[in-house]
Amino acid sequence: MPVELTLRKAAEEVERGDLASVLRARQRLVGLVTSYPHRLDLRDRLAEVYRVLGDTAQAGRWSYLADRRDEAEIAAFERAYRTPEARLASLNWATGEATTETARIRLTALRGAVSEQLRAELAVADDRDSSWTTNILVLLGLIVVLLCFVVGAVTLVMWVYRGIAG
């Protein structure tokens, strides 16, 4: 179905106002946003449907890149998706640049926050690195386990051989 026809049907369903129609409109718009992730107008329409449904976090999610957005919705979105990495993933933004300067700035800031988050996680992982003593003890433990496995395998082969040779 062409985009404009789908948008028209979704608008009619939202105008009807009953829950089933609004949910159908949401489903149509989610499909369009999935197919055309760079179209900010589709994201705005989806945010409007979530406003009708009273889901402020999702309204904030889909209006995150818009020129005009409600800060309460953005705060709800950021509470629902606590890390920059989760926020970026939830936007379902395919690779590529945004069509507006505002969206470009927000995507760049979010990607920068994701980079900072990953750097911080890596720094913590480096701090938790094991000592040489721990590494040597783990290696010795693995060697003992391997030797036990080899001795067990040899014992099993000898037992089977004696049983067959009788």
Residue 141, token pair as written in the block: 């433990």
Instruction: State how far the Cα of 80 lies from the Cα of 1, in Å rounded to an integer.
Output: 33
The domain segmentation of the chain, as residue ranges, is 3-127, 134-166
Per-residue pLDDT reduced to its tens digit, 3-15: 889 999 999 999 9
Domain 3-127 has CATH 1.25.40: yes
pLDDT at 127 over 60: no
Q: How many CB atoms lie within 10 A of CB 23?
A: 13
- Identify the residue with better confidence: 95 or 13: 13
Average pLDDT, the chain: 90
